[in-house]
Amino acid sequence: MGRRPFRCYRYQKNKPYIKSRYCRGVPESKIRIYDVGHKKALVDTFPFVAHLACDEKQQISSEALEACRVAVNKHLTKTIGKDGYHIRMRVHPFHVIRANKMLSCAGADRLSSGMRHSYGKPIGVAARVNIGQILLSVRAKDVNEKHVIEAIRRGKFKFAGRQKIVKSLKWGFTKYPREEYVALRKNGVLSADGNIVKVNTRHGPLAKSTLFLGGHM
């Protein structure tokens, strides 16, 4: 007996069912890498960001998430090079999917119990997503905008249902709109901290205050 088609598991019908000490023997998730590309690029390097947002309440298998990641990564590596972007998968597959294994050989009706005790065995994992939830985000330079959107469009075909490609108004993976980000960086309120930003508060000793030492207080 092969794998069931994922249309059997596409909709969220029951409660979340996760791996635990009671639910053992769960197969490993197919997606193991969630950040791809130049993930250590400083926050100022990649201002443009685009998201793939889900338009349905559904379940997405770990196989589909991995297929999408590979498709997006392949297109961006070919077009803008492996150091020109940073992909981040934003959903994690924790929900365990079960199947009641049936025998399909000759005389199976004598051996199998049909729908008696039909609680299935774990066969894989999936992510439960809501309407408007972001599935993946890609940050890059402004000149590579069309390549990023084309890569996300290709990755979209790996999922069932509808998704939308959204261009963000924020700077990279930060929570600040572009104009506000630039102003706060000039004022010294924000400082780069790897691929995110750090907020310099007005609390604490002056000797350790970045704002005071930079002459912004």
Contact of 178 with 171, CB cutoff 8 Å: yes
d(CA 197, CA 123): 40
Q: Collapse the DSSP code of 83 into the 3-class scheme (helix H, G, I; strand E, B; otherwise coil) and give the result.
A: coil
Whole-structure pTM value: 0.89
170 neighbors 180 (Cβ within 8 angstroms): no
Q: Which of these, 48, 84, 86, 72, lies nearest to 166 by C-alpha position? A: 48
Question: Would you give per-residue pLDDT tens digits along the chain (217 residues)?
Answer: 578 899 999 999 999 999 999 999 999 999 999 999 999 999 999 999 999 999 999 999 999 999 999 999 999 999 999 999 999 999 999 999 999 888 777 666 666 778 888 899 999 999 999 999 999 999 999 999 999 999 999 999 999 999 999 999 999 999 999 999 999 988 888 888 888 898 887 777 777 777 766 666 5
Beta-bridge partners for 165:
52
* Among 142, 128, 146, 155, CA closest to 52: 155
Residue with tokens 């993976």: 173
| Cβ(59)–Cβ(95) below 8 Å | yes
The Cα 109–Cα 23 span in angstroms is 28
* Dist. CA 100–CA 214, nearest whole Å: 65
